[in-house]
Amino acid sequence: MENQVVIKCGGSTLEGLPASFYTDIKELQDEGTAVTIVHGGGPAISATLKQMGIEPQFVDGLRVTDAATLQVAQMVLIGQTNKQIVSRIQAAGGRAAGISGIDGATIQVVQGPAHLGFVGDIHCVHGELIAALGDAGFIPVIAPLGIDGDGQIYNINADTAAGAVAGAAGTKRLIMVTDVPGVMQAKDGVRQVLPELDKEKIAELIADGIIYGGMIPKVRAALDALGNNVEEVWIINGYEPGILKKVAAGEAVGTKIVKEGKVNAQ
Q: What pLDDT does 263 receive? A: 58
Q: Reply yes or no on whether the pLDDT at 262 is more than 70.
A: no
pLDDT in tens, 65-77: 999 999 999 999 9
Q: What pLDDT does 225 receive? A: 87
Q: How would residue 22 be classed by pLDDT, with cut points 50, 70 and 90?
A: very high
Highest mean pLDDT: which range of 26-30, 105-109, 168-172: 105-109
Q: Reply yes or no on whether the pLDDT at 266 is more than 60.
A: no
Q: What pLDDT does 1 receive? A: 45
pLDDT in tens, 138-167: 999 999 999 999 999 999 999 999 999 998
Better pLDDT: 224 or 86: 86
Q: What pLDDT does 117 receive? A: 97
Q: What pLDDT does 50 receive? A: 97
Q: What pLDDT does 256 receive? A: 94
What is the average pLDDT score of the chain? 92
List, as own/partner pairs, every contact residues 109-116 make where C-beta atoms lie below 8 angstroms and the sequence separation is at least 24, other chains included: 109/146, 109/147, 109/148, 109/154, 109/156, 110/148, 111/148, 111/152, 111/154, 112/154, 115/59, 115/64, 116/59, 116/62, 116/63, 116/64, 116/65
Better pLDDT: 88 or 60: 88
Q: How would residue 88 be classed by pLDDT, with cut points 50, 70 and 90?
A: very high
Q: Reply yes or no on whether the pLDDT at 122 is more than 90.
A: yes
Q: What pLDDT does 12 receive? A: 84
Lowest mean pLDDT among 39-43, 87-91, 209-213: 209-213
Q: Reply yes or no on whether the pLDDT at 265 is more than 50.
A: no
* CA dihedral over 200, 204, 210, 215, signed as positive or negative: positive
